Amino acid sequence: MDENILIIGGYGTVGGMISMHLSKLFPNKVIVAGRNFSKAERLAKELKGRVSPLKFDVLNEENNTVPAHVKLVIMCVDQKNTLFIENCIARGIHYMDITAENIFFEKVQNLHQKALLNNVKVLLSVGLAPGISNLLAQNAMNSLSNCTAVDLYILLGLGEKHGDAAYKWTFENIHSNYTLLTGLVKARIKSFSKPKKTDLLGKRTFYSFNFSDQHILSKTTKVNQVMTRLAFDSRFLTNIIAGLRIAGITKIFKNTIVQNIMLTAFKNISLGSNIFAVKSIATNNDRKNHESILIGHNESSMTAYMTVISVSELLDNPIRGGVFHIHELVSDIPLFLDKLKKYDPSVTIKL
């Protein structure tokens, strides 16, 4: 590849892993960018000069111009609007985003026609949920004729360490209500309600949660009845939170002081393992179903692996430009997921 890959936030927890792996595939073609130049410079030294550091603030229009000869931007930080993406599209630069906020996705989706006209590919939903969950759901749909509904189950280990933003997003959404398209009707869903049992690393109960994958799949597939449920590896803590939600006590998780206390606890105390699991069950009117499952360890690493694999999927795909979610771009889902084993042979996949 003659041109470069710009990774914004490329020295963070996930971004650093993406930078490391892509620097092996594209040595001297990766630019690690972010507001903290010293961190970008430090990573460049650790990677023995295979990447170049760059001071870059995506939120500051005076310091967010993409350098010349960049073919792809990988975004690892949250944005408030789509101005930067619009600039990439206007300049013919492909774009990939590993963030997971549905409201932001809806804004980006409105750029589809611009991306199509400029022959620029914009790829969203590159992570666990959305990401792997989208692919498992699509695989289940592909394997079952006349599919009418999909249930997604996300199991997260409490022992893995995340960034502050990820923890705060989870705390905020434990006590929330969200709108979900079910059939042709928009339903108001209460988080950590609608319990449903399934066997995923043992029999356990999962609860509704506002992951963006369910919103995306209901709009981009023929199946518009999709629901995602969450459980933690600790059944005890999962049940405690469900009980607090029923009592209305989970609203304390929205309190900044409580969030800071919880952040300290999660960072310093091991409350579980770093395991994760995703399960998709597609159902049709004949009550037949098809299950797809992926189990692994370290969600952050898996997001990085998904991103690295998606780079060639995006750049080499002959599809014309537009805004796509991962399940819309990947044609051979089993082959794509099997590539994850190159980075983590312990991953278990059942399709």
Q: Average pLDDT, stretch 68-89?
A: 95
Q: Does domain 129-297 have CATH number 3.30.450.20?
A: no
- 4-124+301-345: CATH number: 3.40.50.720
The answer to whether 41 touches 53, Cβ cutoff 8 Å, is: yes
Mean pLDDT of the chain: 93
- Phi (first) and psi of residue 232, to 5 degrees: -100, 160
The answer to whether 130 touches 212, Cβ cutoff 8 Å, is: yes
106-123 residue pLDDT tens: 999 999 999 999 999 999
226/177 Cα distance (integer angstroms): 16
Residues of the chain with CATH 3.40.50.720: 4-124+301-345
* pTM for the full predicted model: 0.94
136-168 residue pLDDT tens: 999 999 999 999 999 999 999 988 877 777 888
Q: Which residue has the tokens 């750029």?
A: 111
- Structural element, H or E, at residue 235: helix 235-247
* Edge-to-edge order in the sheet of strand 70-75: 51-55, 30-34, 4-8, 70-75, 94-97, 121-124, 322-325
